Amino acid sequence: MSLMGVFDIAGSGMSAQSLRLNTTASNMANANSAASSAEQTYRARHPVFMPVMNSAMQDAFAEPAHNAASTSVRVAGIVEDARPLQPRYEPGNPMANEEGYVFYPNVDIVEEMTNMISSSRAFQLNVDVMSAARTMMQRVLTLGQG
């Protein structure tokens, strides 16, 4: 029954989007985490999504050819943002180095806000897909019952 595949696909989409929301949350939480050297400073993190062709994982003979376009998503990894950090002259800051500078993370708050909206919308869409598939499946189970 290939409707089962929809649950896996929508579930993979939900977990990928919630991981994206997770990185957004940690980026925003650490947007003002200053450090005294560039190495210790937090850098913005972003997930990298990758398609997974399900036909490679499942038994090709059990369900012939229905997997032609059944593609779930997975997170290939988390990359750190390569943009430069923001050094600020704050001699009064306890984290300041000898020259009086502290380093602030390269988190772009506006970008993180858009990411947050986009990922929560995409998550919602995947939930809708899953509940629609559930309704369809329940209906098919009543086949022939009058």
Beta bridge partners of 21: none
* Closer Cβ to another protein, 35 or 130, answer by number: 130
Find the shortest distance in angstroms from Cβ 91 to another protein: 42
CA dihedral 96, 41, 30, 11 (to 10 degrees): 180
Phi, psi of 106 (to 5 degrees): -90, 40
Using CB under 8 A, which of the segments 7-15, 21-29, 35-43, 89-97 binds another protein? 7-15
Site string for another protein, 107-146 (x = CB under 8 A): -----------xx-xx--xx-xx--xx-xx--xx-xxx-x
- Determine if 18 is a binding residue for another protein (CB under 8 A): no
Residue 68 touching another protein (CB under 8 A): yes
Q: How many CA atoms lie within 13 A of 24 on its CB side?
A: 18
Instruction: Give the amino acid at 85.
Output: L
Nearest distance in Å: CB 130, another protein: 8
Q: Which is nearer to another protein, 48 or 109 (CB)?
A: 48
Cα-Cα-Cα-Cα torsion 112, 114, 118, 120, nearest 10 degrees, comes to 60
